[in-house]
């Protein structure tokens, strides 16, 4: 058991495959592209809004359809039921997400240049944690918006959980929420990084054991 653990730790100290360094560096492009597209898209359909209302949440801002006017219209509707505005000021997580993505790019490029297998695994752990934390924060924010309603609002509704993914009927509005292209870009980075780690764990580990056996 001790020999196996020692061999594993030596394997973690091995350099990354040369081709993997190139792939990892290229994958950071997708994290950069995530700044150019919304991370999440919310659409609201109702008889009085036949074309629907759209809300786009980027990693650093909130935008709306109809040249941005849909944000004001959605917040006007939310005001009648006592919901806080869905704007940049309310989504404080957008203050740190750009810095997180920038750190991911820097760490990934550093790993591609001078990293070892262990640092690439550390990068995957950090990326996984960021993804889980981000989804958790989104759920928490939506829950807060739907449950902290002003009792003095013009229209009284029961507290509710806004839709996070998929469709949900709320009063006469059919609301749909889905990940945007920005989230897809980050998912491509995470998937590619996972495949690189698996390649080193299986292919690299086998090569390392074979080399150790030969000596």
Each residue of 86-117: pLDDT tens digit? 777 778 888 889 999 999 999 999 999 998 99
In a domain, 121, yes or no: yes
- Do the beta carbons of residue 117 and residue 203 sit within 8 Å? no
Q: How far apart are CA 114 and CA 24, in angstroms?
A: 12
In a domain, 17, yes or no: no
Q: Tell me which DSSP letter residue 34 carries.
A: G
Looking at the predicted structure, is the pLDDT value of residue 215 above 70?
no
Looking at the predicted structure, is the pLDDT value of residue 11 above 70?
yes
pLDDT at position 54, please? 94
In a domain, 214, yes or no: no
Q: Which domain holds residue 60?
A: 38-204
Residue from 97, 116, 111, 121 nearest 34 by CA:
97
Q: Which tokens belong to 34?
A: 């995530």
Rg (CA), the chain: 23
To which H or E segment does residue 188 belong?
helix 181-199
Q: How far apart are CA 173 and CA 70, in angstroms?
A: 15
Q: How far apart are CA 197 and CA 120, in angstroms?
A: 7
Among 120-124, 125-129, 210-214, the least confident range: 210-214
In a domain, 8, yes or no: no
pLDDT at position 211, please? 57
Q: How far apart are CA 30 and CA 185, in angstroms?
A: 5
Cα→Cα distances 11→93, 111, 113, 123, Å = 38, 16, 18, 17
In a domain, 25, yes or no: no
In a domain, 183, yes or no: yes
Looking at the predicted structure, is the pLDDT value of residue 208 above 60?
no
Q: pLDDT-based confidence at 43, cuts 50/70/90?
A: very high
Q: How far apart are CA 92 and CA 43, in angstroms?
A: 21
In a domain, 151, yes or no: yes
Q: How far apart are CA 91 and CA 73, in angstroms?
A: 18
Number of domains into which the chain is organized = 1
pLDDT at position 192, please? 97
- Do the beta carbons of residue 38 and residue 142 sit within 8 Å? no
pLDDT at position 95, please? 85
Looking at the predicted structure, is the pLDDT value of residue 205 above 70?
no
Query: 0.75 cut: is pTM over it?
Result: yes
pLDDT at position 94, please? 82
In a domain, 177, yes or no: yes
């Amino acid at each position: 058991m001790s020999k196996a653990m020692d061999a594993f730790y030596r394997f973690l100290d091995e350099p990354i495959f040369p081709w993997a360094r190139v792939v990892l560096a290229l994958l950071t492009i997708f994290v950069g592209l995530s700044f150019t597209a919304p991370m999440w898209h919310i659409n609201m359909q109702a008889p009085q809004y036949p074309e629907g209302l759209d809300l786009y949440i980027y990693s650093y801002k909130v935008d709306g359809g109809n040249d941005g006017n849909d944000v004001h219209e959605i917040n006007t509707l939310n005001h009648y039921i006592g919901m806080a505005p869905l704007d940049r000021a309310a989504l404080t997580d957008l203050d740190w997400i750009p810095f997180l993505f920038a750190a991911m790019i820097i760490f990934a490029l550093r790993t591609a240049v001078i990293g070892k297998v262990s640092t690439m695994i550390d990068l995957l752990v950090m990326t996984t944690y960021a993804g889980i934390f981000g989804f958790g924060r989104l759920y928490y924010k939506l829950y807060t918006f739907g449950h902290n309603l002003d009792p003095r609002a013009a229209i009284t509704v029961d507290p509710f959980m806004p839709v996070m993914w998929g469709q949900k009927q709320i009063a006469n509005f059919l609301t749909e929420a889905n990940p945007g292209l920005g989230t897809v870009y980050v998912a491509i980075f995470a998937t590619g990084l996972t495949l690189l780690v698996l390649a080193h764990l299986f292919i690299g580990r086998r090569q390392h054991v074979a080399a150790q056996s030969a000596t």
